Structure 1
Amino acid sequence: MGNTSSMLTQYDIEEVQEHCNHTFSQQEIVSLYQRFCQLDRNGAGFISAEEFLSVPEFAVNPLCQRLLRMVDGLNFKEFVAFLSAFSSRATMQQKIEFIFKVYDTDCNGKVAFNDILDVLRDLTGSFMSEQQRQQVLAHVLEEAGYSKDSLLELADFIKILGNSGLKMEVEVPVD
């Protein structure tokens, strides 16, 4: 599986399915493998940040730099695991865990007010003033029972987002 010029075996497909908690069908994994091979231009068996940036939808994403931290150097199995949060079969917990990782840039298991503010800055750009961002965030945290000084953990994200009806899905085209 490390060499992208080889074909996936049934064993490889099942192994990837197991690794991503069966969030993708076997057909979807084959399609994802074809896409992975297209992105892995030098055939190294992993996708670099530069290769990810060749995907226009990825490059224009306001969270692109945060996502690059998570995707640079992924092999195929890791690539599918990364995308699994966007599967319609992913659980709400899997989706929230992914979101938490986007916010937890230092990977310490805690998200501070300023971490969330940084993401809000990326998402809103010049459409909101810094003061508006801080006010909105303080209000949202207060509504959820937290303050600006709170350090949120994954369990807090699950509590806040768990019943939100969060939709994070990408359809994988299959031939």
Structure 2
Amino acid sequence: MGNTSSMLTQYDIEEVQEHCNHAFSQQEIVSLYKRFCQLDRSGGGFISADEFLSVPEFAVNPLSQRLLRMVDGLNFKEFVAFLSAFSSRTSLQQKIEFIFKVYDSDCNGKVTFDDVLDILRDLTGSFMTEQQREKVLTYVLEEAGYTKGSLLDTNDFTKVLGNPGLKMEVEVPVD
């Protein structure tokens, strides 16, 4: 599986399925493998940050720089595990854990007011003032029982973002 020019075996497909908690069907994994091979222009079995940025939807994402630290150097199995957060078969808790990693920019297991504020800046750009962002964030945290000084772990983060209406899904085209 390290060499992208090789084909996936049934064992490889089942191993990847197991690794991503069956978030994708076998047919979807084969399609993802074809896409992985297209992105892996060097043929080294890993996708670099530059190769990820060749995907237009990724490049224009306001969070792309944060996501790059999560995706740079992924092999195929890790690539599928990364994408599994966007599967309709992935639980809300798994999606929230993924979002937590995006917000936890220093990877210390805690999300601060400033971490969330940085994300809001990325997402809102000039559409909101700094004061509006702070006001909205303070309100959301207070509604969940937290303050501006709170350090949120994944459980706290789940409480703040655990909205059953949270949608974070993409469809994998199957050839």
TM > 0.5 fold call: yes
Where do 1:3-152 residues align within 5 Å?
3-152=3-152
Q: Which whole-Å CA distance do the structure 2 matches of 1:20 and 1:79 have between them?
A: 10
The unaligned stretches of length 5 or more in structure 1 are: none
Q: TM-score, normalised by structure 1?
A: 0.98
Displacement after TM superposition at 1:160 (Å): 2.1
Matched residue type, 1:9: T
User: How much does 1:116 deviate?
Assistant: 0.2
Unaligned runs of 5+ in 2: none
Aligned-pair CA distance for 1:123: 0.2
Give me the whole-angstrom Cα distance separating, in 1, the residues matched to 2:35 and 2:29.
10
> Matched residues, percent identical?
85
The alignment yields a C-alpha RMSD, in angstroms, of: 0.7
State the Cα distance separating 1:162 from its structure 2 match: 2.2
Give a deviation string over 1:26-69, Cα, whole Å, max 9, x none. 00000000000000001010000000000000000000100001
Shift of 1:164: 3.3
Q: What CA distance in whole angstroms lies between the structure 2 residues aligned with 1:162 and 1:140?
A: 12
1:165 shift after superposition:
1.5
Query: Aligned partners of 1:85 and 1:16: how far apart in 2?
Result: 14
Aligned length: 175
Aligned twin of 1:170: 170
The amino acid across from 1:141 in the alignment is: L
Flag as ranges the 4+ runs of structure 1 deviating above 4 A.
none
Q: Secondary structure at the match of 1:155?
A: helix
Deviations 1:69-89 (A, max 9, x none): 100000000000000000010
* Letter of the 1:42 counterpart: S
